[in-house]
Amino acid sequence: LTKIKDGDWTEAMAQLAGLEHQLLKLPSEVLAQLTRTEHRAFEKELSETIATLQEASCLDAVGRKAAVGSVQAALADLNGLKRKLSDMRSREAAQTGVCRKRIQHFCEPTTAPRKSEVGNADGHDGDGLVQRGDNRVGSAKVHLRTYRLMADYLYKRGWENSAGQLAASMGIKEQVCESQLLEARALSRTLRARSTSTVLEWCGRNRSKLKKVQSTLEVRLRVQEVITLLQQGESNAALAYARSQLIPPPPGLDPALLRNTMAAIALGPKTQVPCVAQLFDEAHWEAFALQFERDHAASFSISQAAPFVCAIGAGLCVLRTSACSSPK
């Protein structure tokens, strides 16, 4: 908005378009993750089946009867892999379809042709039915984009039911990052409810993405697990957990935080040492939830700022009413 007020329209539009990149970037990221995960699991099972067949080929080692049983088991495994491969292709095709539809959504024109263009092309004057019909089409497409921005805004504000009903009623569910936004909202709620297990599982599944954005979320949650065990009076369990998860120090763990954590194990939750006592502050849970929301958005290329708000602000800035800040 500052760029618009200063008259730098090119930079302002570039920044606004950057907020819309999530519409195309997110499904491609999901498709890549889906492909990697499923192909890795498929290759592992295929390798195990091939190893079974190789063992069965050694008749002298296992005997003919055992070899036949191994081959039959391997054939059953191969049939199962064939079904899994078919399911994988279906899921990948569905996600590819989402990418294609979102590209089409961006490529569709959002304005109706001018009167002169319609009159020249169709032989009707500008006041004919053709022009009014084209206006309806262009207006409908503009409204669909507006509804998509509204649904995205509602999801990010936490109004999932309203956002879902809006997206469903307008037929734009595939243009809204629904599943990822709902996942982020649900996981942040678990952190605010003083639970880390679900988010740690998510961190394990998305460790490579978190590494790319240089996130320290998983390490901080591991430390918080130690603190939670100490608050529950389980100092031995806290020490064992710290040895298994924090020794040797994982990447991103601040040495000072590690020292304070070990001091907390030794001194207990009632310590008065400031640098150690602050680890038991309940305000950390809200900080964890906010960090998770930031890291989740960065991992999946989702903008935390709602494009709907930016678009409204940009529109208000160019109205040139008496309330506008620009003297021009």
Structure tokens at 328: 């021009």
pLDDT tens digits for range 192-220: 999 999 999 999 988 888 988 899 999 99
The answer to whether 70 touches 56, Cβ cutoff 8 Å, is yes
Please name the amino acid found at residue 310.
C
pLDDT tens-place string over residues 271-294: 889 999 999 999 999 999 999 999
Identity of the amino acid at 3: K
Would you state the pLDDT for residue 325? 55
User: Which residue in the block uniquely carries the two structure tokens 């150690």?
Assistant: 276
Question: Computed from CA positions of residues 293, 298, 301, 302, in that sequence, does the dihedral angle turn out positive or negative?
Answer: positive
In the structure, what pLDDT confidence band is assigned to residue 15 with cuts at 50, 70 and 90?
Answer: low
Spatial distance between the Cα atoms of 103 and 325, rounded to a whole number of angstroms = 37
Contact criterion met (CB below 8 Å) for 285 and 221? no
| Residue 63: pLDDT band with limits 50, 70, 90 | low
The one-letter code for the residue type at 184 is A
What is the rounded average pLDDT of the residues 2-22?
56
Confidence of residue 17 (pLDDT cuts 50, 70, 90): low
pLDDT at 223: 94
Radius of gyration of the chain measured on its C-alpha atoms: 28
**Is the pLDDT reported for residue 138 higher than 70?**
no
The C-alpha angle with vertex 167 and arms to 206 and 160, in degrees rounded to 5, equals 60
- pTM exceeding the 0.85 threshold for the entire prediction: no
Alpha carbon distance 241, 180 (integer Å): 31
Of 24-33, 117-126, 213-222, minimum mean pLDDT range: 117-126
Residue 222 neighbours by CB distance under 10 Å: 20
pLDDT confidence of residue 278: 93
Res 60 pLDDT > 60: no
- Confidence band, pLDDT 50/70/90 cuts, at residue 139: low
CA atoms lying within 13 Å on the CB side of residue 103: 9
